Structure 1
Amino acid sequence: MSYYLYYYQGKYNKAEPLYLRSLEIRERELGVEHPNVAISLNNLAELYQSQGKYGEAETLYLRSLDIKEHQQEVDHPDVAISLNNLAGLYQSQGKYSEAETLYLRSLDIKEHQQEVNHPDVAISLNNLAGLYQSQGKYSEAETLYLRSLEIMERELGLEHPNVATSLNNLAYLYKSQGKRSEAEPLYRRSLEIRERKLGAEHPAVAISLNNLAGLYDSQGKYSKAEPLYARSLAIFVKTLGQDHPNTQTVTSSLTLLRLRILTGFDPATLE
């Protein structure tokens, strides 16, 4: 649908009226408590969250969750999805205790409604690990990332894109701890999987290229980092456009890298 396309391209102003129209139609035709209305509310909340409109997003996430809990069982997998999304919002705001409570409840529902080694359980483990990482709880995060990766590899196969995501996240944890030698092979394997399974110009490939470039950049390996940043940028410009936040982030990283190469001066060291 076009509103999904606009959302993933970062064209939020074009996406919003389409999301609102979809919500209005569903409320009118299905009733304000219908599960499909909850889906529309969730989608609009994600859009607002992406724009940093946290208050608006929270209101919609809470309403979506309330509909699902009233129309379905409180331990239904769809409820777990809403809990996870609301937890992600709280995490992005630094509300870690609120986020942890929701992530744990979401994980508990998934483990009881599905097999403990189900890929959906692995996703919840990954999200909880990300929360712990953001709090500096690296040991707890590593345990969960490794368990999530193990489930993904066993249940989906070594070449699945979700495995690439798990590898990327674990690599980022190691980089955050200064374990660059452990991070590099994970970033590289994640990139290789995405290139083979998604195609050389997929946005997820651009993310992997940027992350690997960032690792080399942090090590002062500028000749390795520069072509990766450049390739990542070319993919983002082609697929998402010049104004997308991902494009702008890589543009900034590449510009700063080239300035360091030319002058030996790092503007990032200035206060």
Structure 2
Amino acid sequence: MKSLFKLVLIITLGIMAINPVDAAEPNWDALILQSKDYLEEENYQKALNIGEQALIVAERLFGAEHINTAATLFNLAEIQRMSGYYYNSEFYYYNALRIRERILGREHPQVAACYYGLAQIMMARGEYQLAEDHAQQGLVIFEKTNGPDNIETANSYALLAEISAGRLEFQEAESFGTKGIEIVEKTAGPNSLSMGNALITLASIYIKQEKYIEASSLLQQTDLIYMKNYGKKRLDTGKHLYYQAEILRLQGDPK
């Protein structure tokens, strides 16, 4: 999710407030931001190439165990995960996690972001118990550091909902998904893109249970949200359109 990636990147680059950049550092910072731009454009190869350059620069300027190097490793983990290279991504996440825990402590949002990313990998590989464990670890940290009503907590509940649905534990999945929606409404508002993503998560759970009426209702709400945010261009709605088409297919609609 692009909006989620932006959110995690903001957390990650918060390290710059901890470690003010010197005259040599903007090159590293520019590489990180350029890599992120390519990732948002889904140009994964360019994002990876520049991300790897950023890692070389970070290790040369700051050292292998520096917090900025951890941010660079995290960026590479995100790129590899979104490219589908889960084992490479896992390697980078764990290295970023190790450095962040040592420097920032175990109860820090940047640590939680690593657990969140790892949970996404485990879920994609069908390792649902590991995915749940990592997602719960991230959730506990986000709730403790940022409070129960924040967007990171909402995203964690949405991830737990997807994990539970993958295990066919639909009652629990619906509970997590609904909780995420409630938090998003309090924090980002009912017409935010975060709300659109939260509604799509719950809609996907309904589709898996063949609850097409409920799913269609949620997707209609997301349609209004995306139109309010993007207008007729309807950007960033790929997931939403996919589920609409999936409902039609499963219902046997020839359209």
The 4+ residue runs of structure 1 with deviation greater than 4 A are none
Corresponding position of 2:35: 3
TM-score normalised by structure 2 residue count: 0.82
Structure 2 residue ranges without an equivalent (≥5): 1-32
Determine whether 1:204 maps to 2:236. yes
Determine whether 1:60 maps to 2:99. no
Corresponding position of 2:81: 49
1:88 aligned partner, one-letter code: Q
Determine whether 1:16 maps to 2:53. no
Equivalent-residue separation in structure 1 for 2:242 and 2:122 (angstroms): 26
Corresponding position of 1:269: none
> Structure 1 residues 51 and 156 mapped into 2: Cα distance closer, same or farther (>3 Å)?
closer
Q: Which of these two proteins has the greater Rg computed from alpha carbons? A: 1
Equivalent-residue separation in structure 2 for 1:48 and 1:117 (angstroms): 30
Pick from 182, 189, 193 the counterpart of residue 225 of structure 2.
193
Pick from 186, 209, 212 the counterpart of residue 154 of structure 1.
186
Equivalent-residue separation in structure 1 for 2:244 and 2:161 (angstroms): 21
2:115 aligned partner, one-letter code: L
Mean Cα displacement is larger for which, 47-56 or 131-140?
47-56
Mean Cα displacement is larger for which, 44-53 or 85-94?
44-53
Corresponding residue SS for 1:200: helix
Corresponding position of 2:143: 111
Pick from 87, 98, 102 the counterpart of residue 70 of structure 1.
102
> Structure 1 residues 9 and 119 mapped into 2: Cα distance closer, same or farther (>3 Å)?
closer
Q: What do residues 110-166 of structure 1 show as CA deviations (whole Å, max 9, x unaligned)?
A: 121222122221111111111111111100010010011011112221101101111
- Matched length: 223
1:102 aligned partner, one-letter code: H
Q: What do residues 206-263 of structure 1 show as CA deviations (whole Å, max 9, x unaligned)?
A: 332232122122222233xxxxxxxxxxxxxxxxxxxxxxxxxxxxxxxxxxxxxxxx
Kindly indicate whether the alpha-carbon contact (under 8 Å) linking 1:44 and 1:57 is maintained by their aligned counterparts in 2: yes
Superposed counterparts of 1:112-131, under 5 Å: 112-131=144-163
The offset of 1:202, in angstroms, is 4.7
Structure 1 residue ranges without an equivalent (≥5): 224-271
> Structure 1 residues 16 and 34 mapped into 2: Cα distance closer, same or farther (>3 Å)?
same
Corresponding residue SS for 2:187: helix
The offset of 1:52, in angstroms, is 3.0
Q: Could you tell me the percent identity over the aligned residues? A: 28
Pick from 107, 111, 122 the counterpart of residue 90 of structure 1.
122
> Structure 1 residues 50 and 119 mapped into 2: Cα distance closer, same or farther (>3 Å)?
closer
Equivalent-residue separation in structure 1 for 2:229 and 2:43 (angstroms): 26
Corresponding position of 1:184: 216
Kindly indicate whether the alpha-carbon contact (under 8 Å) linking 1:103 and 1:128 is maintained by their aligned counterparts in 2: yes
Corresponding position of 1:33: 65
Corresponding residue SS for 2:36: helix
1:63 aligned partner, one-letter code: N
Across the aligned residues of Structure 1 and Structure 2, the Cα RMSD in angstroms comes to 1.6
TM-score normalised by structure 1 residue count: 0.78
